[in-house]
Amino acid sequence: MFTFASDLAGELAELREAGLYKQEREITSPQSAHISAAAGGPPREVLNFCANNYLGLADHPAIIAAAKRALDDRGFGMASVRFICGTQDTHLTLERRVSEFLGTDATILFSSCFDANGGVFESLFGPQDAIISDELNHASIIDGIRLSKAARYRYRNRDMADLEAQLRAATSQGDGGARRTIIVTDGVFSMDGYLAPLAAICDLADTYGALVMVDDSHAVGFMGATGAGTPEHAGVGGRIDIYTGTFGKALGGASGGYVSGRAEIVDLLRQRARPYLFSNSLAPSIVAATLRALDLVAGSADLRTRLFANAEAFRRRMTDEGFDLLDGEHPIVPVMFGDAVLASRVAALMLDHGVYVTAFSFPVVPRGKARIRVQLSAAHSPEDVETCVAAFVAARADATA
């Protein structure tokens, strides 16, 4: 008779045979554009082109200093949820600052954006309601929607005709249509780097009386004129009902997430959102460091300018070298290989050439669409970008020799 452990061992073997087993490479340095990483040998310095460290703030000295001061002034942890004794003045300050940054009424903090998305739908939408979600939305949105008893609709990625068809379907739901309908989308789809067509989404929402929610995790801090994200970039900041996002990418890269929007929405989440009610408060050092990150974003556009200059240069040089890239303007740049084995082989060879990247294949992306997802950072120098391009050229030659 098979034991539970042997069953799991068999499943793990199947993952390895299918090339789907995820290996974790050990990093022995701070997260940065240049890191020390081990891959089957002693750690060595490599260029990192696969982090969400868009603004290069993960090891910024001002952010580290703010975190150290908070350890002395506010302690290590809160040992409590918010509504018992886990709310410090700095938590409230950060919530106000995020609201000011995004132009919303109010904000509520969560331990991650995964938890933020997990807390929205069950708290706000019930059996009489409809949730309409883009098919490529993040796993946290998918899991959060599953917790709600609302009717679920899905539309093809960025397909406004299909979205309108789902909106029509929601109007015929039950007796007289859904009580509340919400359209949910990522601001940036992280495997492709594509932006959601937010202006068109908001127009359809207005036509059908729907709410709009945007998870802006891969944009907050650097997209838009002030870095407020894809709604600002699309000119629809005042038309978004619910923002969710993370502090774990551009804004310091540690952890923490939020829901921001109308005051009534945030107030109800404080009463009902289970990930908020039953999870420890954000650590004081993360709160203080995130406040400092917001200061840096608000104080200068230099990092954003450098980030997009790097992305443009990488796209241009890779195109010059004959690589197949997905079109876009975002610093996520998918380099398409199609074949999963080839993509994995090139990624492995890139490390031999001193550049750390990651290959993605089915089921993370569709079959035949295997790729290496490159993520640019403001911390990369022009020389770093050129080194990455040269590594791609050399690894492609090695892999196809």
Q: Three-state SS for 184?
A: strand
The tokens of 177 are what?
Answer: 């249509």
Residues 104/243, Cβ–Cβ less than 8 Å? yes
Structure tokens at 200: 């068109």
Query: Alpha carbon of 58 to those of 26, 64, 150, 286: distances in Å?
Result: 17, 9, 38, 12
Single-letter amino acid, residue 309: A
DSSP code of residue 212: E
Query: Among all residues, which ones are annotated catalytic?
Result: 190, 218, 249
Task: Give DSSP secondary structure letters for 77-88.
Answer: ---S-HHHH---
**How far is Cα of residue 5 from the mean position of the Cα atoms in its chain?**
34
**8-state DSSP, 21:** P
Distance between CA atoms of 231 and 188, rounded to whole angstroms? 11
Contact 88, 78 (CB under 8 A): yes
Return the closest-CA partner of residue 224 out of 374, 140, 123, 101.
101
User: Helix, strand or coil for residue 134?
Assistant: strand
**Who's near 328: CB < 8 A, 6+ residues apart?**
192, 193, 194, 195
Q: How many CB atoms neighbour CB 252 within 10 A?
A: 29
Torsion of CA 48, 53, 59, 64, to 10 degrees: -160
Q: How far does CA 137 lie from the centroid of its chain?
A: 10
10 forms beta bridges with: none
Comparing CA positions, the residue from 125, 136, 200, 122 lying closest to residue 170 is 125
CA distance 170 to 232: 28
φ, ψ dihedrals at 143, nearest 5°:
-65, -40
CA angle, 355 then 358 then 361, to 5°:
150
Backbone angles phi, psi at 304, to 5 degrees: -65, -40
